[in-house]
Structure 1
Amino acid sequence: MPMLAKLGALPAREGAHAYELKWDGIRAMVYVHDGQLRIESRNQNELTRQYPEFAGLVEALGDRDVVLDAEIVALNDAGVPSFQRLQSRLGLKSDLTIKLRAAAAPATMAIFDVVHLDGRDLTSLQYADRREILASLGLESPSWRVSAYQVGDGEAFLAAVVERGLEGVVVKQLDSAYLPGKRTHAWIKVKQQQRQEFVIGGFTEGLGSRAGTIGALLIGHHDVRPDEALRRGEPQLLQYAGSVGSGLSQATLRQLKELLAPLALGESPFDVNSPGATKPQGKWQAIRASADGATSKGAGRTTPVHYVEPRLVCEVEFTEFTRDGTLRHPAFQGLRTDKDPLDVVREDIAQRAGD
């Protein structure tokens, strides 16, 4: 499993850190062993077949056995990573469809770490040393590249990222070891806008041009991560974070309606603040049901609400969390099939590292 970064601010001790572009795609662990390629998502789902453009990595590495940490992205016409464009490559089943989509929206692999090489475990090495080894592999082609980085001058690096409209920066301590599956302050992600994953727990019925589909998604995040819930001996609670209707195309609305239909749930999965819910009752809430189910009130109208099992994860951009924990100005960015819903928690910006 990949090492993870915490949300935070630029560090005070710039010279002790490397600055990388935060790629807007899906995380991937890449395994090349005995001439065979295997690509896995962050939650260990196999992606190899989905991205035929990366098959040439085996030849590029010769007879080397290697494990790489990378991000799969789709670039728009301006050469900027577009997560929405990458959506067309996710979850495909047919070989023909995969081939056609690969031609229409080719993916690029941005490689930023190497954790095993020719039977040697590199995770205990410092970041700077692993980067030297990665550079020595010569991995450059139209379909993959080693992600650039710089040491120090983080303010200028972030300013350049913002100017180009990119997602943000990942700051890594030069002496940091690679800790698989761990999220630590050794790696910090700095975003120009608030953006994170949320779990879909329901939706409102669409009106007007959205009639017959979805009006808005009801979204939330868990109160703690699974390991913390296990330590406490208590179940995770799904906390309501509001609704998102902006950013949903007609094609996406139809896709979501199809995906959510078999997940129908007779009660709210949210712990508090769920539209149409009554007082909290433990992990779930009771719903005051009417003939057409729970309702969401707003703008002088009542809209039926449908709850679903919290299995799907989406990415949402927003300006801030309000005092009651809901999102201000949210916009849907896409589904995250590479993320486990149980791992989705609220991300809060840590204090400036080194202060």
Structure 2
Amino acid sequence: MARAQARSKSSKLTSSVARTARAGVPDPSSTPGAHRAAIPDLINVELAVLEKAAPAGGIFLHEIKFDGYRMLARVQNERCRLITRRNQDWTARFPEIASSFPELAVGEAVFDGEIVKLNGEGISSFSALQEALSNGQTADLVYVAFDLLFLNGFDLRKVALEERKRILADILGSAPPTIRKSEHRIGGGEAFFAQACKLKLEGIISKRRSSTYSGTRSSDWLKVKCVNTEEFVIVGYTEPQRSRTGFGALLVGYYTPNGEIRYAGKVGTGYSREFLEGFKRRLQAIQTETPTAVLPKGTYMRARVHWVRPRYLAQVTFTEWTRDNILRHPSFLGLREDKDPREVVVDRPPAPLPPKKGARPS
């Protein structure tokens, strides 16, 4: 009974991926803010600012924060290209999704969304997505569309978000099951966030209803997390112990505003045997004798460390930051090959904490 009730609540909240009943493609020529323009080769995506709580009132609308790959879907000349935020073409990785977009009743368009792997209750999992990709099992993956940037010769990025979403809903009314629309709720952000956390979702995204699409990180989009997940630069690894093969743990860090990488800890769990063995070879190819990260004062490496050049990003979940700004109980979720390590800065790097009472100054 309890499980059935949980599934019912989950389906209501994760109707964020429900398909609408409306169909058809509006003419954008009379839409306020729309103007004629060709689709540019490079489109910068909108990014969210981290907040501790969902905004109150009706100025914002709220959506589920999906845990997948951010992807622009560019539909032109009866074919679709799937482009990462680094402007990489990943069409070949998701053939079923790419082949679904030309079924939509649009001549040309650019959609913004997330490619995800959903479980039976409509909840996304990044580790499950990584496993599906590794095994070549991409038929069940879904593109969750949450924005529309271009449509049939018109640039919609200066159109208010709420109107862009209305047009998006019209287009996706008859979409194939591999393409779904991210539903939203106007107002009630605090309750929406509480329900998301109760269902063990990653969090929510709150977006200003009147906002345009600037292609930057701004307070028009806010993210509020239920769990601590971050992307960290991989800076090294340790040797395996006992029966483990490959490597023991990944050393991770994050870029500071002055451009240096600050060490954030060792991540020793969350790996499959196949990943341990396969990724070790990739790490060996980029080893360096020079330490890649700056260690916090008083931090020493007990195990032998192999430093590597900052080429790869790891998505990591953890319980909290320690007083020394080191991750507590981190676990590996997957690689983020869709992002450039230099673009990633921890959303809110922890400020150094004052010493405990009675502690001697260092």
Please, what TM-score do these two structures have when normalized by structure 1? 0.81
**In structure 2, the residue corresponding to 1:199 is in which secondary structure?**
strand
Q: Distance in 1 between matches of 2:299 and 2:291?
A: 9
1:349 deviation in Å?
Answer: 8.6
Structure 2 match to 1:254:
277
Q: Which residue of 1 aligns with 2:229?
A: 195
Task: Using the TM superposition, give the Cα deviation of residue 11 of structure 1 relative to its aligned residue in structure 2, in angstroms.
Answer: 4.1
Alignment of 1:201-350 (within 5 A): 201-210=235-244, 212-224=245-257, 236-273=259-296, 296-297=301-302, 303-348=303-348
1:110 equivalent to 2:144? Answer yes
Residue identity in the other structure for 2:62: Y
Q: 1:55 aligns to what SS in structure 2? A: helix
Q: Give the letter aligned to residue 85 of structure 2.
A: R
Q: 1:63: how far off?
A: 4.2
Quote the residue 2:158 is aligned against. 124
Task: Tell me the residue number matched to 1:285.
Answer: none
1:8, 1:348 within 8 Å by CA — same for their partners in 2? Answer: no
Deviation of the 1:76 alpha carbon: 2.6
- CA pair 129-137 structure 1, distance change in 2 beyond 3 A: same
Overall identity of the aligned pairs, in %: 36
Q: Give the Cα–Cα distance (whole angstroms) in 1 for the partners of residues 229 and 54 of structure 2.
A: 20
State which of 146, 157, 172 in structure 1 corresponds to 2:192.
157
Q: Specify the SS of the correspondent of 1:37.
A: strand
**1: CA distance, partners of 2:132 / 2:90:** 11
Shift of 1:345: 1.1
Structure 1 pair 58/249, CA: closer, same or farther in 2 (3 Å)? closer
Q: CA deviation at 1:165?
A: 1.4
**Partners in 2 of 1:339 and 1:274 — Cα distance?**
30
Residues 195 and 41 of structure 1: CA distance in aligned 2, closer, same or farther (over 3 Å): same
Whole-angstrom distance in 1 between the partners of 2:335 and 2:238: 18
* Matched residue SS, 2:231: strand
Deviations 1:239-277 (A, max 9, x none): 111111121222221122122110111111112339997
**Structure with the higher fraction of residues in strand conformation:** 1
Q: Counterparts of 1:169 and 1:349 in 2: how far apart (Å)?
A: 20
Partner of 1:137: 171
The answer to whether 1:37 aligns with 2:88 is no
Quickly say closer, same or farther: Cα 1:332–1:252, change in 2 above 3 A: same
CA distance in 2, matches of 1:258, 1:107: 29
C-alpha displacement of 1:157: 1.1
Indicate the residue corresponding to 1:57 in structure 2: 100
CA–CA distance in structure 2, aligned partners of residues 3 and 12 of structure 1: 19
Return the offset for 1:57.
3.2
List per-residue Cα deviations over 1:206-238 (Å, max 9, x = no partner): 10121x4211111000002xxxx6xxxxxx101
- Counterpart Cα distance in 2 of 1:18 and 1:339: 27
For residues 297 and 129 of structure 2, the distance between their equivalents in structure 1, rounded to whole angstroms, comes to 31
1:111 CA displacement: 0.2
Moved over 4 A (4+): 274-277
* Contact residue 100 and residue 178 of structure 2 kept, 8 A: no
- The answer as to whether partners of 2:113 and 2:146 remain within 8 angstroms in 1 is yes
Question: In 2 relative to 1, CA 12–87 (structure 1 residues): closer, same or farther, beyond 3 Å?
Answer: closer
Render the CA deviation track for 1:269-288: whole Å, top value 9, x for unaligned.
112339997xxxxxxxxxxx
Say if 2:54 and 2:190, in contact at 8 Å, map to a contact too.
Answer: no
Name the aligned partner's letter for residue 259 of structure 1.
R
From the superposition, tell whether residues 349 and 127 of structure 1 become closer, same or farther in structure 2 (CA, over 3 Å). Answer: farther
> In the alignment, what sits opposite 1:173?
208
Per the alignment, residue 111 of structure 2 pairs with: 68
Amino acid at match of 2:148: V
Relative to the length of structure 2, the TM-score reads: 0.80
> Cα 1:276–1:192, aligned 2, differ >3 Å: closer, same or farther?
closer
The Cα offsets for residues 74-123 of structure 1, whole Å up to 9 and x where unpaired, read as 12344321111111354x7xxxx74xx224xx210000000111111111
Q: How many residues align?
A: 306
Aligned to 1:257, what secondary structure does the other structure show? helix
State the superposition RMSD in angstroms. 2.1
